[in-house]
Amino acid sequence: MASPLPVPSPKDAEVKLHTGGCHCKRVRYEFEHPDIYAMAVVSCNCSFCEDRGSLNVYTLEDKFRFTKGSADDLTTYSFGEGRIMHRFCPTCGTTFGAAVPRGGIVVINTRTIDGIDLQRLQLYKADGRSKM
């Protein structure tokens, strides 16, 4: 079966619990996911990703939960066909990533993960621009 996620997880990567949240700590989350440094992190060149500079990993809704606050505490933004609900903290402006309700996918901006070392990420350059 094909993976429902844009970037399939490496089969033998160790699954860890990652935690993160926004700058003002209004909203916190955790999710189970393979080692972030062992997989491709998506750097997309679409008009929106270019503006906000998020570096994304993808997980399924059932692997992700809010540990402080909830989706209702976040502002959302959508454009184009409106399939993707981009999420922001309305207080500090942190870009969390997004929810893709049809498909049950949660997009996580790796910049919001606790203790992330951006220099160690393996960036995969996605050409979102030509798909819009």
- Report d(CA 61, CA 115) in Å as an integer: 23
Q: Should residue 74 be labelled a site residue for Zn ion when binding is judged by CB under 5 A?
A: no
List, in order, residues 6 or more apart from 130 with CB less than 8 Å away.
Answer: none
- By beta-carbon proximity to Zn ion, the closer residue of 89 and 108 is 89
The stretch near Zn ion (CB under 5 A) out of 73-81, 82-90, 95-103, 118-126 is: 82-90
Q: Binder to Zn ion among 40, 66, 91, 104 (CB under 5 A)?
A: 91
Count of CB atoms situated within 10 Å of the CB of 97: 27
- By beta-carbon proximity to Zn ion, the closer residue of 26 and 63 is 26
Q: Comparing C-alpha atoms, which of 66, 58, 48, 44 is closest to residue 125?
A: 44
Q: Binder to Zn ion among 52, 65, 83, 92 (CB under 5 A)?
A: 92
Q: Binder to Zn ion among 5, 13, 26, 85 (CB under 5 A)?
A: 26
- Report d(CA 5, CA 49) in Å as an integer: 18
Q: Should residue 89 be labelled a site residue for Zn ion when binding is judged by CB under 5 A?
A: yes
- Report d(CA 53, CA 49) in Å as an integer: 5
The stretch near Zn ion (CB under 5 A) out of 16-24, 34-42, 50-58, 99-107 is: 16-24
Which parts of this chain interact with Zn ion (CB under 5 A)? 22, 24, 26, 89, 91-92
